[in-house]
Structure 1
Amino acid sequence: MCGIVGVVGHGEAEGFIIEGLRRLEYRGYDSAGMGVIDKGGALHRLRATGKVQALADKVPAALGGSTAIGHTRWATHGAASDDNAHPHKAGRVLVVHNGIIENFKSLREGLAAQGRTFTSQTDTEVVAHLIDREMQAGSDPVAALKSVLPRLEGAFALGVMIDGETGFIMGARKGAPLIAGLGGNEGYLGSDPLALSGHASQIMFLDDGDMAVIRPGRIEVFDARGSAVTRKLVPAETSHVLAEKGNHRHFMEKEIHEQPEVMGRTVSHYVDAFENSVHEIAGLDFRAASRLIIVGCGTAAYAGEISRYWFGSLARLAVEVDIASEFRYRDPVFLPGDIALFISQSGETADTLEAMRLAAAAGVQTLALVNTPHSTIAREASLVVPTLAGPEIGVASTKAFTSQLSALACLAVLAGRHRGHLDRAQEAGHVASLLASPGLMVKALEREGEIEQLAHEIAGHPTVLYLGRNQNFPLALEAALKLKEISYIHAEGYAAGELKHGPIALIEEGLPVIVIAPHDALFDKTRSSIQQVASRGAHVIAITDPEGARALEGEAARIITLPKGSQLTNPLLFASAVQLLAYHVAVYKGTDVDQPRNLAKSVTVE
């Protein structure tokens, strides 16, 4: 969602804000703004629709500000416009805000009845007015914010500065991420560590309900009851170098090519390469589990769907996979012995977090499969199983997805051992294949040239279909999602065996049908589906391995041949091919690959 960055005690605060907002562009936004107090004590509020550069172009030269807050906004209440861009101001109070204030209408009506005038359509502006009202009644800024926070309903992260006050900024969070930081005699506020990297030497992850007052070299924190508390400061390890594209045109391209490294890092975390075994995870025992519930959103949910096949075949463990937004509202039934696994790249996905809280309230053990170890989901789960993908800037998930699959594969092998369905030799074989996956991924990525050529061929089609069987069915869903996300082409994924139950009616002359077809136990059935659509005029593109390529010669119009993998590694390798295909289609069409329209990296509200 939106991004927040703030600083106090800096020699050129406006430059820091612009740099921080650029780093947060990956989160998705439609406008940007900042408030800065210049060296003469005057307040400047600058806002612009469009990219951060449009805001940068409005910054007067040599402000020399020491205190500032900035924001990238993704419209929720009110259209994308300069008036609706943050910060919002009432009296001396400036506010930036991520999330949604659910009761803003009633608050706004009450404030309007008292004669207050609103200049935007946002829910955020009511917060500025509430704080300003408290200050006009005699409260100091810290007491005013403390008084206002209990009246706000919803999920939010706030950044607050006061006109004329250069000694502090304030922040507060409820259900949305927010961090504070220190570096030398400066203080920082941000919604993402990436915004502060290279500046803050230490960062503090605020707990849900916390309010922070950030001064040069000092952070004061109050909990949801308003009591002073101590939160741990940790080293700021994220390097801004990780946010550089290097020699790549886009972050998405860079992150696709980082997959061998991050897959290796994730697998190495879970396995003993010397013993070819999976490490035990303290507190996790699949032996008595009656069922594994897996919950996620979007790509994370598809990773869970793929792993359902692994847990079933390797561990004979019943698995139920659900989309978080459906799970939390369908009154789910929990059984004795259930384990619930929640997948989220950011660890802040609103629906996934609430689904996990629902399971926890029912007494179910909760596992968090996250890429952000200090996130809210990670902190609230019974156990954390990390993915170690590092920062992912592109909105369309790539390396986070394959890292999730890598971790899930290791967990499935562990479950198989726990439940007595994998002997020592079988476990060693699966672990060996996972350890080999980074090298196979490197070879798979070498097919990029022919995938790019193929992308140019299908970029002009209005619809693309993806087919797969068994674990390749959810991968077909993920492949279609990737194409939709960044190229804006209508795409659908189907179970190949369902063709005759309706989807085959869509087949017409020249329609691109991309079939994920490794030469596995179901290859002949997949081959039959290829023949069915080809006979009806479809332009069939098969993604397969060397043995499959030989068998399909003359039956598919185009064949992309990837290295031979295993049950656990095939989805990883085939994921790289469909990611590259979506990427090159989008590049050819000229869309905004890293920041596709209407999408945000982290969905922290419903």
Structure 2
Amino acid sequence: MCGIVGAVAHRNIVPVLIEGLRRLEYRGYDSCGMAVLTADGPHRVRSVARVAELDEQVSNARFEGVTGIAHTRWATHGAATINNAHPIVSSGSLAIVHNGIIENYEILREALRRQHYEFVSQTDTEVIAHLIHSLYEGDLFAAVRKAVRQLTGAYAVGVVHKDQPHTLVGARAGSPLVVGYGDGENFIASDALALAGSAEHVSYLEEGDVCEITLAGVRIVDFRGEKVVRNPRRMPAYSTGVELGPYRHYMQKEIFEQPSAIADTIPDAETFSPGLFGKTAGGVFRDIDSVLILACGTSYYAGLTAKYWLESVAKIRTDVEIASEYRYRESVPNPRMLVVAVSQSGETADTLAALKHAQSRGMEHTLAVCNVATSAMVRLTDFKFLTHAGTEIGVASTKAFTTQLVALFILAVTLGKMRGHVSDAQETEYLHQLRHLPAALNAVLALEPQIIAWSDQFAHKENALFLGRGLHYPIALEGALKLKEISYIHAEAYSAGELKHGPLALVTDAMPVVTVAPNDALLDKLKSNMQEVRARGGHIYVFADDDTHITSEDGIHVIRMPEHYGLLSPILHVVPLQLLAYHTACARGTDVDKPRNLAKSVTVE
């Protein structure tokens, strides 16, 4: 969600802060701002436009300083206005940027009002600013440590004070924060990507850490107040992953990167082995009797797809839970259950909270499927499978989703083999199909011109239905999500057999119905569902495998997929749905990479 960048240096750090904000734009935001320290206090500039507009303001004002903080905000408490944009200033002397949500802000605000603090924003962040100011006695590090003990909720903060012009203090609980180390200068950020090109090494703060950043170095204490060292590691190489290249948008680039991302994710191994998930996974995998998948959004749909694989290939009971709901209901714990948390960033607040809840209930066998090796989720779980999607800038996930599917398929075959349900011949065939996936995806991507023609028709619609059956029902859900995310067309997905139980009432000639039609055991049932739509005057748009014998006719539009791909067919069929959403959004002129109201990394509940 929101993005933080902060720096202490000998040089003017304004260009570093601006570049850091640009690198964090992919997370989604609706306002941005920056503050640098001067002798008179924090000098601040804010905008409810894009970072480019903030940069223009900074240039026109000849803004500069050696210590500063910057922020991209995604509104939670208070609308996207200048007054609510970060940094937030207290009493003209202290400035703060904040990610997260403070749950007890109302109680703290009333107490601070009694101390005569005036509130000029609607944010929970202003409570933190005034609270730290009220506790400040010449030592910002000490004031922040005292303040965060009074906070309930999630936060990552960066704080500066005019009386300590070469000091920046950071703290985190429930929201990520990294420390960057440069040559005679040091940094904080919510994502290491923001510091690429400036910091040489980074370290990741743990829950409850507070850090003091100065020119001389970095001091970190844990939640107990004890000094700790968070081992620095070399800054990951990000430079090539964020270049747009010849593509119109990052989303389009990432759709076309899927063959290589999947190739990178598939292990260079000749067998499906539990060792792919961790050295001790074999013993645990033999002991489990069920699987629980926890995820949100697109990752949840990956989990729904994996349920079909795990139950058909591994013959193991699998439950899939929306992470934001799981910990708020009474569930039956099972210590022999493998808990699989799925997240692109590994910092998704709801999924992390659900994972911790499961662990607190005695379900200790945990696995992370994640794209970020250094994330909180990977550090929390016993086992991991890292997808290698690379940096994903577009808010609407594409290559992160398909690489998650690859990881979950590998898990299903591995468990199936260990449980005696996958023969050596089947294992060889599954491995062959996985390694052929990149070539098969390239053939699907070649359908783009036909999909562009469809998108011109969809651009004038305001509603759409998506249909799938069995293994492809979650893919229909994902297709509908993509269309609504970036084109703002209202789209819903249904299992095709449910049409006659209500959704058929919505079908008219103004309602396009997108159908995922693989040549599987449910094809004939799906054809009957399509006829139900056509009989009501609906227009059907079908992505059909080549041998389904579904042909174009009046009211039925068909794009033929190159080949049927068995159990891995969902990975192929989701790609044209991504392209349809993308080109429809382009035709409607929406902000494809940064759709309204949405954030890339959802680090608050």
Q: Take 1:240 and 1:42, find their aligned partners in 2: how far apart are those partners?
A: 35
Q: Take 2:389 and 2:495, find their aligned partners in 1: how far apart are those partners?
A: 29
Q: Is the 8 A contact 1:183 1:217 kept in 2?
A: no
User: Counterparts of 1:447-486 in structure 2 under 5 Å?
Assistant: 447-486=447-486
2:134 equivalent in structure 1? 133
From the superposition, tell whether residues 64 and 88 of structure 1 become closer, same or farther in structure 2 (CA, over 3 Å). Answer: closer
How far the C-alpha of 1:53 sits from its partner, in A, is 2.2
Q: Take 2:124 and 2:158, find their aligned partners in 1: how far apart are those partners?
A: 14
Q: Is the 8 A contact 2:546 2:564 kept in 1?
A: no
Q: Is the 8 A contact 1:516 1:542 kept in 2?
A: yes
1:111 lines up with 2:112 in the alignment: yes
Q: Take 2:34 and 2:316, find their aligned partners in 1: how far apart are those partners?
A: 52
Secondary structure in 1 matching 2:149:
helix
From the superposition, tell whether residues 57 and 30 of structure 1 become closer, same or farther in structure 2 (CA, over 3 Å). Answer: same
2:527 equivalent in structure 1? 527
Q: Take 1:340 and 1:277, find their aligned partners in 2: how far apart are those partners?
A: 20
How far the C-alpha of 1:553 sits from its partner, in A, is 4.7
Q: Is the 8 A contact 1:534 1:555 kept in 2?
A: no
How far the C-alpha of 1:61 sits from its partner, in A, is 5.0
Q: Take 1:361 and 1:187, find their aligned partners in 2: how far apart are those partners?
A: 37
* 5+ residue gaps, structure 2: none
How far the C-alpha of 1:217 sits from its partner, in A, is 5.5
1:442 equivalent in structure 2? 442
2:176 equivalent in structure 1? 177
TM-score norm. by structure 1 comes to: 0.96
Q: Is the 8 A contact 2:292 2:338 kept in 1?
A: yes
From the superposition, tell whether residues 126 and 510 of structure 1 become closer, same or farther in structure 2 (CA, over 3 Å). Answer: closer
Offset from partner CA, 1:47-89 (integer Å, 9 cap, x none): 1112112222221454442111000111111111111111111
- Indicate the larger mover: 559-568 or 408-417: 559-568
1:385 equivalent in structure 2? 385
How far the C-alpha of 1:569 sits from its partner, in A, is 2.2
The CA RMSD over aligned residues, in Å, is 1.6
Offset from partner CA, 1:86-122 (integer Å, 9 cap, x none): 1111132111000111111111111111111122111
How far the C-alpha of 1:510 sits from its partner, in A, is 4.4
Q: Is the 8 A contact 1:472 1:516 kept in 2?
A: yes
How far the C-alpha of 1:211 sits from its partner, in A, is 0.7
Offset from partner CA, 1:326-382 (integer Å, 9 cap, x none): 111112112241111111111111111111011111221111111112111111112
Offset from partner CA, 1:235-274 (integer Å, 9 cap, x none): 101323311211111111111111001111111x3x51xx
Offset from partner CA, 1:433-475 (integer Å, 9 cap, x none): 0111011111110111110111111111121111111110011
User: Counterparts of 1:180-329 in structure 2 under 5 Å?
Assistant: 180-216=179-215, 218-267=217-266, 269=267, 272=269, 275=270, 277-278=272-273, 280=275, 281=277, 282-284=279-281, 285-329=284-328
Secondary structure in 2 matching 1:405:
helix
How far the C-alpha of 1:511 sits from its partner, in A, is 2.4
1:570 equivalent in structure 2? 569
- Indicate the larger mover: 164-173 or 397-406: 164-173
2:601 equivalent in structure 1? 602
Q: Take 2:138 and 2:62, find their aligned partners in 1: how far apart are those partners?
A: 34
1:98 equivalent in structure 2? 99
2:339 equivalent in structure 1? 340
Q: Is the 8 A contact 2:335 2:362 kept in 1?
A: no
Q: Take 2:564 and 2:387, find their aligned partners in 1: how far apart are those partners?
A: 21
Q: Is the 8 A contact 2:186 2:217 kept in 1?
A: yes
2:578 equivalent in structure 1? 579
> Percent of aligned positions with the same letter in both sequences?
46
- Indicate the larger mover: 462-471 or 508-517: 508-517
Secondary structure in 1 matching 2:285:
coil
Q: Is the 8 A contact 1:293 1:320 kept in 2?
A: yes
1:490 equivalent in structure 2? 490
- Indicate the larger mover: 433-442 or 84-93: 84-93
Q: Is the 8 A contact 1:7 1:69 kept in 2?
A: yes
Offset from partner CA, 1:381-414 (integer Å, 9 cap, x none): 1212211211111111101000100100111110
How far the C-alpha of 1:287 sits from its partner, in A, is 3.1
Q: Take 2:554 and 2:67, find their aligned partners in 1: how far apart are those partners?
A: 66
Q: Take 1:83 and 1:41, find their aligned partners in 2: how far apart are those partners?
A: 20
Q: Take 1:278 and 1:546, find their aligned partners in 2: how far apart are those partners?
A: 34
Q: How many residues align?
A: 598
TM-score norm. by structure 2 comes to: 0.96
1:499 equivalent in structure 2? 499
From the superposition, tell whether residues 130 and 510 of structure 1 become closer, same or farther in structure 2 (CA, over 3 Å). Answer: closer
Q: Take 2:343 and 2:207, find their aligned partners in 1: how far apart are those partners?
A: 18
Secondary structure in 2 matching 1:480:
helix
